[in-house]
Structure 1
Amino acid sequence: MDKQIWDRTIELVRQNPSVNAATRTQLSVAIPRGMGGGALYLEVPLEFTKTIIETVLRDPILQAFQEIPEAQDLSHVLVLVNPALNTQSGSVSAGSNQAQATQPQPPPPADPHPAAPTTPASAQAQQPAATYWSGAQNAAGQSGDLPQTRLKPGDEGSLESSNNGHNAQTTDFSDPLSGSELPGSTAAQTTQSQQRGVTESPISELKPAGVTVSATRDNHQAISTRPVNPSKPLLNPNYTFETFVPGDSNRFARAAAMAVTESPGDSYNPLFIYGSSGLGKTHLMHAIGHQALDLNPDLRVKYVATEELVNDFINSIHSTGTESNIEASNDFQERYRNLDILMVDDVQFLDGRTETIEAVFHIFNHLHTHNKQVVFTSDVHPSKLSGIPERLITRFEWGLTTDIQAPNLETRIVILQKKAERENMYIQDDAVFEFIARHFTSSVRELEGRLTRITAWAEINNKAIDIDLVTTVLKDEIPLELVQSIHPKDIIKITADRFKISVDDMCGKSRAQQITLPRQISMYLCRDLTDLSLPKIGQLYGGRDHTTVMHAINKITELVKSDRQIYEQVSELTELIKKEH
């Protein structure tokens, strides 16, 4: 069924006058690998093809879904990169994916009908909605992701990676720092090891050969070196203890997290980490998962955002085929009881979710009784959580409760230096890092976002990054008190007025390009100028899922770097919004 839907989608996209011939060729090399939870999974041989499908072709594909009766429930496309397809089909030139500094050129057309592997009947068996990741099944394999090359000021020519000329810019589809889980899928079996990924609804086993996925949040740009499997919970390959910058504000939380990995269920159980958004709570959760599995690959580890936990529970009720919520709750709980480590992110979103809270209560009791590790995070201390019964709050405090505070100046400088080093940013003047660190103090997200904006401006204008450039780019963002007073509804209104569309259209369901782009820019500005979480931003835009918001933010982040018009529009809107406050 998924192949039939994809073939029909390709046909409709090819008829779309907004899609040029060169772009259409990218559809031919994409192989459908399954559907589930509102998503169609595709496998492609190149990062370049993945980028084109997730950006330029995304809206035409979603429009095509609405014209196909069997595909109207599909709301997004998840693309996996499998370099093995290059050699299997022999139809994609290894050196054809070079990207010019101003505009990428597509590789030559590939075989429009590549052979998909046969899926045995046994692989079609449905799996539970919430599955765990077993490290023992994922020990083999290396990432096919390639390092990103950045131009230094004055450099010209094409951006080429060190591996056969493939462009290595990564387009991310998930929000690991919010603990997002992506829908599952059906798929073919291969002889390769299973790879990390996520699931939200019943799926069939997916074992793509050599597939790698990069996942980021906010302005983090990830170069993945760890494998992933869409049928398993996602652990962000870039969030480890090695990449976590310790400081006085987080040292105790980091030490506690490391202790948990060495003795799960014994040292601090549960471990409850709280603090404001963007300080690294979820980074530590991913690091716990990675190190625990490195120490003991047989452990069953699950990382889940509270929002996805709630969705999983609701899906359980709908999928049981019965009106009994008790039976659905039992099925839901059973999927979490066989874990060795369960990490639940942002438990403040359990507020008012009575039935889900009841299920979480029993899951916790079972895991704790059997000495299985549980880790929670929240934006406030457990005692300040609202809408959650006292009996669960007291259990949150049974183990160790620790906070993460805003980093001090020295830590902020190191965070910026590490980001610049990780992403090959060409910054010679250390005073740049100190200037940013002194003026942006509330979160890591805020720090890294400003550094990304500065480097984007420098690259677009071919300028060296120095203090003069930094003060020019950030002149409208200081003092920071102005940022704190900005209301998201004002952002929506000002953006809608700028693009001459209504607020209702901005928050509505239309997927027309003249509305979609302003909506995505508005979401980006909400994330950049306020402290709202992804789910909260999604609620402002007609109750959209946080993954939709994440896609918008990632898309505009990339466009700000590569498209001068978008950069100027975002800068103009930022200035307008701040003038209103």
Structure 2
Amino acid sequence: MTVLEMGSKAQETWAKCLADIRGKIHPAEYEAWFAPIQAVSLVGETLTIRLPSHFFYERLEGSYIRELTQAIAQHIGQNARLNYDVVMDRRLVPPGGYSTTYPKGPDYNPSPQLVNLKAEVQGAQVINPFVIPGVQQIKIDPQLRPEYSFENFVVGSCNEVAYKIGKSLCTKWGSSTAFNPFFIHGGSGLGKTHLAQAIGLGIRKRFPNSVVLYVRAAQFIAQFAMACQTKKTNEFVNFYQNIGVLIFDDVHELAPATSTQQALFGIFNHLHQHGNQLIFTSIQNPANLQGLRQELVSRLKWGANAELTAPDYETRLAILRHKRLADGMECIPDDVLECIARKVDTNIREMEGVMISLIPYSSLSKQRITVALAEEKIASIVRAPHHRSLAVEEIQSLVANHYHLAVEEMQSNKRNRDLVLARQVAMYLARRHTDKNLESIGRIIGNKSHATVLHSCRTVEQLLATDKHLANDVKDLESQLVSLSAEAR
């Protein structure tokens, strides 16, 4: 059989496999992960497919191995073998490329296959990915604040997942694409910028030659506008394409700037393809971003995303105690910190603002720092809440009614699918709309453990990105919760 015939047979077989796979996954997933794949050859029972990047290989291996193996077994045979031909930029591999054996999923038993990584040669020299070509002598200010370190980041159930991913990036940067991009989302003042910059600082500490840059969306928009005015868009794009770790804050603010979004889209593709890390922050999760180009939103969904939620009382108090020690404010007594943590539950920024304001106010007014003084400052700094606090019991009752269940069923140990989902939704909403910690939420909703509540919240977060029916349910429930909380005290 000629090479042309092998390629034609491979394309025909792969088209049949794709037809099977397409019916098993979400259309957006198919377009993102399978449409770009090309069939190369079919020799005997070995099918070789070409992937555009090593990230595609990791994604297929990690998320779609079951669908792949079932499809090739159906159309080639039970002893079918699948080879990946992954095109890599030479800067990411040693001269001559390399091969590695990849592990299969639990339901895949054929003998190990090799992944052949072919490098695109850019001249005779392998490019150092940590140095900007041609401008090695130029010092680039990473725009990172030293105080935004991991050491100053207080961890609680509200941010634990994001924190662990961030720490992992600092140790595995350049060797794994599982968290690329890393998308951090949550309300204002909950620590998104702090965590994103902590990752940048951590990478620079471990990899001193790395090129890290933090930029806010507003800065990026202004820079691109200036580049357009001065006809230097190529220089602008080239600069960003050579950043090793790009930390992009408040990406949702790009909504009105369509041409700037297109520039970021091209920069994203280049950085991602070359193994450079991207970190984004936003007040919205990727599934709910409004006003951004669909192709950009699709890219933002590629890697990992983690939400920062409002901290519970224990975490708020721990944050205040840490700041007291770090900033030398030992004159503020514990009962004052407890008062602030109890009464300021909107966001971390407001809470710290109240605490910091006590020092100069006390000095100028010659007053001791007391609970009464703290309450006075809270009244003047923090906006009076327009909503009353919700009880976990109210949320549980609302969710039970929405799903036509009895509250007693929600609190039972029954495990049918609809009941489990309703219970998970109730826990997710309780975490978002009350100041109760995970233990308290679990105790009220069926006497469940802290771990069960955390797992439930993560499950719902993941489902919201792909399950439109559930997303509509949660949106409707949250609207009802807003109405409930707006009632007079």
The normalised TM-score by structure 1 is 0.41
The structure in which a higher percent of residues are helix is 2
The normalised TM-score by structure 2 is 0.49
State which structure, 1 or 2, has the greater radius of gyration over its C-alpha atoms: 2
